[in-house]
Structure 1
Amino acid sequence: MDCSVVVNPSSVPSQPSFPSSSVISLNDPSHTRNLVGSTVASAQLLQDLDGHSRTFFIFPDLAVRTEGQFTLRFIFTSLLSGSNSRDTSADCHVFSESFEVYSAKKFPGMTDSTDLSRCFADQGIKIPIRKKGGSK
C-alpha cells in the first residue's frame, strides 16, 4: 500500500445524521499526495559527531502535507550500475520514530538545528540550519 498518498477527508461522504436531509456524493474519494520533496536519496559517507565515517541518507526537502502523527518507512535497495535488470528488490527496511505534523495555527515554532545537522552542514551538505537561539 502506498502511504505517500492519502484520502482527502473532505472528499469522503459523511454519515447522515438525518437520512432524508443529506446528500451523498457518488464520486470516489479524491487522493492527495502526502509526501512532497525528494523521496529518494543516495548513500553519503560522512563523519558523525565523534569523527567516525558513517553512511547516511539525507532528505533535505522531504515534507508531509497532512496534519497528524506519522512514521516513515525507509526501504533500502541496491542499484547495480551496468545491470540490465530493471528489477530491484528491497534489501531491508527501517521505520523512523513517530513525529507530529502541525497545522499552521497549532505550530509551536522552530527548534534549533541538531548538532548532527550542523555537523553535516559543516561537511558541505546543503540543508537549512538555524543558529542557536532560534534566529536564522
Structure 2
Amino acid sequence: MPRGFDKLLHHEPESSPDPPPRRPSTQSRYHLHVRQQPIAARACGAGDRDRRPVDPPPIVQILLTDFDPESQDDRDILQDPRFTVGCLLFPVPDTTGWTPSSEGEASQSAERDPDNIARADDSFSTPLLSGKAFMSPFFVDADPDPNSAPTHPSSDDFHTLNSPTTHSHSQIHPQSLRNASKLNQPATFFIFADLSIRSAGLYRLQFRLMNWGSVEDTGQSMPILAEAWSDPFRVYAAKDFPGMRDSSILAEGLKELGFVELKTRGNGKGKGRKRL
C-alpha cells in the first residue's frame, strides 16, 4: 500500500464539529464534478448478501482547466489509468424534523463522532459505508449525455473556484462554466454503482481524486488532486424507502458504452417504487 494511503481511509477525528475543509488541489488543472447526485438509499444489513445500492449511483467526472479536445496530451491525461477517486461518508445534522419509523443510529453516530467516517458503533468501529469506495476511471470518446455535460473550466474561472470566499462544500456547476461545444467531447467518469449504507440518516459523500502514478514516480505520499462533495441525501429504513428511480440518460449511455456494473431501470419500472 503506498505510503499515506491508509490515512486517507482512516483519518483521525478532529475537534471541530464541521467536516474537514476542502484542501486546494496540488495541481490546478484538476477538478471533480458530481455529475449524478445520490438521492436516497435503503439501509442495508450487516452482511454482504444484503446490498442496497445508493440510488441513483453517484457518478463523478474529472474536469481539466483549459481542456483542449484536439490536444492529444489532454486526452492522454483523461485516459490515465492510474487515476482513482475515493469516497468517504459523513453524517449530516438533520434539521428537517423528519423522523424514521425506527430509531436512526446515524444521528447518534453523528453526535459521537462527527469528524470521522460515519460509524455504526464506537466500540466496534463498524463502518457504515460498504461496497466499492474506490473507483478507477472510465473513459469515453464522446459524452453519452451532452445536454447535461459540464464544460471544462477556463483559467478565468479558476481564481473564482479557488477563492477563499468560496464555500468549502461547493463544486463546479455546469451553469457557472463557459459555454462550449459538448458534442463528441471525451469524458472520464468514476462510477460508484456499488455503495451501500448500513443505517438510516442524512449523509453526504466526499470524493477525492488521486493518482497512483505520483507515488510511483516520486516515492512521496499520494496527494489529493481535487475534492468534491455530494448533496445531502437520505438513507431510509426498509419500510420508509420510496423505491428505486428510473435510470438517467447518462447511466443508460455509460452501460451501453461498456460499464457493465451499472444496473439500469427504465420506462417507469424502477424496482420497488411506490405509486403516488
TM over 0.5: yes
Where in structure 1 are there 5+ consecutive unaligned residues? 9-27
Match of 1:49 among 131, 139, 145: 145
As a proportion of its length, which structure holds more strand? Answer: 1
**Cα pair 2:243 2:270 within 8 Å, conserved:** no
Where in structure 2 are there 5+ consecutive unaligned residues? 1-10, 13-115, 147-183, 272-276
TM-score, normalising length: structure 1: 0.74
Alignment partner of 1:125 is 2:242: no
**Cα pair 2:246 2:265 within 8 Å, conserved:** yes
Match of 2:199 among 66, 70, 79: 66
Name the SS of the counterpart of 1:6 in structure 2: coil
1:1-26 CA-partner distances (Å, limit 9, x unpaired): 46444142xxxxxxxxxxxxxxxxxx
**Cα pair 1:48 1:54 within 8 Å, conserved:** no
Q: Which has the larger radius of gyration?
A: 1
The letter for the 2-side match of 1:48 is P
**Residues 33 and 101 (structure 1 numbering): CA distance in 2 closer, same or farther, change over 3 Å?**
same
Larger RCO of the pair (alpha carbons < 8 Å, separation 6+): 2
User: Counterpart in 2 of 1:22?
Assistant: none
User: Counterpart in 2 of 1:6?
Assistant: 119
TM-score, normalising length: structure 2: 0.39
Match of 2:208 among 36, 55, 75: 75
The CA deviation at 1:86 is 5.6
Q: Distance in 1 between matches of 2:232 and 2:270?
A: 27
**Cα pair 1:44 1:56 within 8 Å, conserved:** yes
1:64-98 CA-partner distances (Å, limit 9, x unpaired): 11211111000111211743626101112110111
User: Counterpart in 2 of 1:89?
Assistant: 223
Match of 1:36 among 117, 123, 130: 130
**Cα pair 2:244 2:270 within 8 Å, conserved:** no
The CA deviation at 1:135 is 5.5
Identical counterparts, % of pairs: 29
